[in-house]
Amino acid sequence: MRSRLRISDALALSLTGLRYHLGRTVLTALGIAFGIAAIVAVLGISASGRAALLAQLDQLGTNLIRITPSTGVFGNADGLPPESVAMLARVGPVERVTSTALLDVDVLVNDLVSPLETGGLSVLAVPPNLPGALNTPMLAGRFLDEASATVPVAVVGRLAAERLGIDDLSGSRRVYIGGEWFEVIGILSEMTLHPDIERAALIGEPVARDLFEEDLKPTALYARVHPRHVDSVLEVIPATVNPENPDRVAVVRPADALVARRQAEEALTTLLVSLGSVALLVGGVAIANVMVMSVLERRMEIGLRRALGATKRHVRLQFMGEAILLSGIGGVLGVGVGATITVAFAISRDLTLSVPMTGLAGSVLVALLVGALAGVYPATRAARIPPAEAVRSA
C-alpha cells in the first residue's frame, strides 16, 4: 500500500522539527526578520516622505517662481527696481505677483535688550497679498490688510515668533522694530522653503516708507504663473524685471528644491533597500546552513521514517516545510518591526503615515521564497539518504 502524507501532517512535522531546536530556530528567524524589517522600514519611511512631499507641493505649487537680485562682484546685491512688481504683473501668464523688501533695522523683544539676543531675525516690508500668493495660512491672528499696512503693526514668521517668545496673541503682544513699537497681530504657519520669511517680522510697505526707508526696493519677488507657461515665463523674467541689467537677476522655482531633495532621498532609499536585501540574502544562507546541519544531526530520524514507510517526497516536504516556516516566522516578525519603525518615524517627524500594504505582503512572500530556495538543497540531500545507511551511521 502506498504511503500518504497530508499537508497538515507535513506542517506538524515541520513545526516539531523547529521546536526541537528552538534556540537555533529563533536566531535564524531573526536573521530573516532583520532583513525584512530593514526593507519594510525603508519602503514605509520613503512612502511617508513621498506623501509629505506631495502635500508640500500641493501647498506650495509647482508654478511659484522666486526672483531675487543676484550677488554682485563685491558680495552685495542691490534691490530690484521699484517698478519691477508692476512690470512682472504685465506678463500674460503671470497670475499673481507679490514682493518683500528687506529693511536695515532690528526686531527686538523690547527696548532693553541687545540685537545680539535675537540675532538672525530680519524685518521685511510686504504687501497685503503675500499669504495669498504663497498659499500660506495663518497659524494665529490675521495678516496685514490695506488699512493695517499703514500703521505700526506686524506679523511674525513661525521661527521669529519662537525666538521672540510669542506663542500666542493673548493680551497685547508688541515688538521693538527700528526704535518703534509694533503690535503683533498674526503669526504665519510653517514655510519650510521660505526661511527668510519664517525668520522675519513683516510690516506694511506704507509704514515702512514713513518710518524707515522712503526709497523702498524689493529684494524678492514671488510670481504665480499659469502651469502650462512656467518655462516660457522663466526665460523672460530677467529682462522684464530689470531691463538694464538682466544678468543681475536670479530666478528659481522653490518646488525644484523639493524635487531635488526627493531625488536624493530616492537614491538613498535604493541604497538602503539594497543593504536590506543583502541582509535578507545572509538570512537565506543562514537558513540553508541550519537546514544542512539539521539533516546531518537527524540522519537517525530520517532513516527510521524511511524504514517505516516515508518516501523521499515526504522527507523533502518535511525539510522544505521547516525552511519555509522558519523564513515565514522571520518575515512576519520583520514586517511587524519594520511597520513599527515606520509609524514611530512618521510620528516623530510629523509626516503623513503611509505604509504600502503591497510592500508588506510582498516582503512576506519574498521571505517565503528565500526560505523555499534555501531549503531545496538540504531537503534534497535528506531525501537521498539511504534508510539502512542512516540507521547504521547513527
pTM: 0.57
**Mean pLDDT to the nearest integer, 242-258:** 76
Q: For residues 169 and 136, what is the distance between their CA atoms, to the nearest angstrom? A: 19
Residues 97-116, mean pLDDT to the nearest whole number: 80
Asked whether residue 156 carries a pLDDT value surpassing 90, the answer given is yes
pLDDT interval class at 208 (50, 70, 90): very high
Question: By 3-state DSSP, what share of the chain in percent is helix, strand and coil, each rounded to 5?
Answer: 60, 15, 25
pLDDT of 329 reads 85
Which pairing describes strands 64-69 and 153-156: parallel, antiparallel, or unpaired?
Answer: unpaired
| CB burial of residue 166 (10 Å; 0-12, 13-18, 19+) | middle
CB 100 within 8 A of CB 157: no
C-alpha 274/C-alpha 270 separation (Å) is 6
In angstroms, the CA 118 to CA 99 distance is: 24
- In a 10 Å sphere around its CB, with 0-12 CB exposed, 13-18 middle and 19+ buried, how is residue 65 labelled? buried
Q: What is the mean pLDDT of the chain?
A: 79
CA distance 338 to 73: 52
Mean per-residue pLDDT, 296-311: 74
Q: What is the pLDDT of residue 276?
A: 65
pLDDT at 149: 92
Say if residues 371 and 324 touch (Cβ distance below 8 Å).
yes
32-54: pLDDT as tens digits: 788 778 778 877 777 777 666 66
Output the nine-digit C-alpha cell for 310.
516515508
